[in-house]
Amino acid sequence: MVLDIKNLWGCWREKNYLNYKVYFSFMPQSPCIRTATFDDFKRIVELERLCFQREHAYSRRQLRYLLTKAHSMVLVETLDSVIRGFVIVLFRRGTTVAGIETINVDPVFRKMGIGLRLLSAVEDHLRKDGIRTIRLEVAITNAAAIALYEHAGYHQVMLLKKYYHFTHQGSRDAYRMIKRLG
């Protein structure tokens, strides 16, 4: 007689009358959002390059600064130890406004709710830190990002003419969008 029993650590154990054999099951973990560490830096750079054209992407130096020195919060979304997306938020001490500097989701994993989960996690952290308003800028031609932000409760408050130094998805203009956390 053979029984299969799954234990609490995700291992399968085959039990028969005389011995035990352990087989590790590589069952998928649940998605996790956590604070980024410097160990994540290489993947963050890679995602920035995947998500933005060269002239719009942050450089390695800029990303290193945002991750390690800026007054920022950097969160990553992972599944099975693979970073699928990240968000960087900047804020100043003594103020109740924060700015989303960039949000990136690997193109392979888009349309899976990762961006929305990252935004929600950032908002939860910022509320606890006393932040009451989040702002961001987005190219007026970036329909997917605008739809994400609107779905998350952000609304357009201003058109910023010639905001970008380079043409970004066919335009140099951007919308400023905000969300009150209240």
CA angle 62, 101, 138 (to 5 degrees): 125
Instruction: List Cα–Cα distances, 90 to 101, 125, 135, 141, 166, in angstroms.
Output: 6, 12, 10, 24, 23
Whether residues 22 and 37 fall in one domain:
no
Q: What's the rounded Cα separation, in Å, for the pair 161 and 175?
A: 9
pLDDT (tens, 9 = 90+) of the chain, 182 residues, equals 444 443 333 333 344 444 444 444 455 678 999 999 999 999 999 999 999 888 788 999 999 999 999 899 999 999 999 999 999 999 988 899 999 999 999 999 999 999 999 999 999 999 999 999 999 999 999 999 999 999 999 999 999 998 987 766 677 899 999 999 97
Whether residues 19 and 81 fall in one domain:
no
Helix (H, G, I), strand (E, B) or coil at 122: helix
Structure tokens at 173: 């203009």
Looking at the 3D structure of the chain, how many domains does it have? Answer: 2
Helix (H, G, I), strand (E, B) or coil at 6: strand
CB-based contact 101:66 (threshold 8 Å): yes
Is 137 annotated as catalytic?
yes
CATH label of the domain that carries residue 58: 3.40.630.30
Whether residues 77 and 4 fall in one domain:
no
* Of 58, 149, 154, 175, catalytic: 149
Q: DSSP per residue over 30-85, as a string?
A: PPEEEE--GGGHHHHHHHHHHHS-TTTSPPHHHHHHHHHTSSEEEEEEEETTEEEE
Whether residues 74 and 158 fall in one domain:
yes
Q: What's the rounded Cα separation, in Å, for the pair 176 and 136?
A: 6
Structural domain span for residue 57 = 31-180
pTM of the entire structure?
Answer: 0.81
First to last CA, the chain: 61
Whether residues 13 and 85 fall in one domain:
no
Whether residues 59 and 108 fall in one domain:
yes
